[in-house]
Every structure is written in structure tokens, then in C-alpha cells.
Amino acid sequence: DPQNPWSHNNRGLVLIQLGRDQDALDAFARSIALNPRNPQAYFNRARLLDGRGRSEEALADYTASVRLAPCFGEALVMRARLLGRLERMDEAVADYRAHATCHPFEVEALAEFAAAELRVAREHGDDVALAAAQMRFDELTVRFPANADVLRLRGHARAQGHDFQGALEDADLAIG
């Protein structure tokens, strides 16, 4: 059905797999034109654009997706990661916080949230925020013991803070 937005969205996903990026972008655009309230079409187009280095366009589509579905977990995390790459860490932390509110058991995103909070606290020289972010990691290791994602990201954060012994301990625990 040429008027079914989901058909165009699905076609776009297949076109990505075939390496036909422009055709995929056109399919997502058609899906959005048929149903501008579909967060999935914006998200799929954003992922394609993000993967091709078209950051500002991707950010606009991730934002549209989140605006339409505020608890769309993948969109929040992907936008947070993109904002981090764009060095917009305060905004990235806000997205991770929104994600944590909607999805409190998604471990990798929670660990990324804690790492982003640590980075912002260090950038701002805020010792109180730094301690709070470190406590978030400690809480995650209690809630999700021996989780490799938490340990890997906590170790990375510790190394950035020059706690190399702690980073090594986390790496050893993550390896098992």
C-alpha cells in the first residue's frame, strides 16, 4: 500500500542493509510525510544520518523522535551519545537522566549516565557532583554485581580521574 507509512519505514530499513542510503532516506522521508507523528521513522532516519556523520541532521531527527515519544529509550540513549560526541555533555546527561527515569533497569545506559555525570562534574570542577556520580557507579555495582558493562565504564571513569589502581581492579573484575 503506497499510503502505508510503515511500509515505507520498513522499506528504508531494508535499503540500509542493501547499502542504498539515499533511497533509505527517501523512504523514511515518505514515511514521515504520511505520518509525521511516527517516532520510529524519525529514529531510523536519525540512526542512518548519525552513522554517516551527519550529526546535526541526526540530532534533529532524534529530537523529533523523543518529542513524539518521551520514553523512547533507544532514541534517548542514541541522542545522549551523539550529544556526548558533540561535547554537549550537560544535554547528554539530561537525556541519560530521562532514560533512567523511564528505564531504570537498562544497565548499560545507566552506566553511561554515571560516566557522563562524572565527566560533567570533572569539567565543572564540582566535587559534590563528582562524589554523587561516583556513588551512582557504586550503587550500580551493588544493584548489578559483576556486570561487565558497569565495571568497564566505571574503570574507564576511574582512569580518567587518575585512579589507575581502581581502574585496574574494575578491568580485572570485568574480565572475570
31 has a pLDDT exceeding 80: yes
Mean pLDDT of 38-49: 98
Distance CA 133, CA 19 (A): 41
Dump pLDDT digits (tens) for 134-143. 888 888 888 8
pLDDT top residue among 78 and 157: 78
Q: Dihedral (C-alpha) 112, 113, 116, 118: value to the nearest 10 degrees?
A: -110
CA dist 133 and 158 (Å) reads 11
Are the C-beta atoms of residues 99 and 73 closer than 8 Å to each other?
A: yes
pLDDT value at 161 more than 80: no
Cα dihedral across residues 104, 110, 116, 122: positive or negative = positive
Question: Quick one: pLDDT at residue 145?
Answer: 81
Query: Whole-model pTM?
Result: 0.85
Query: What number is the average pLDDT over the span 158-173?
Result: 87
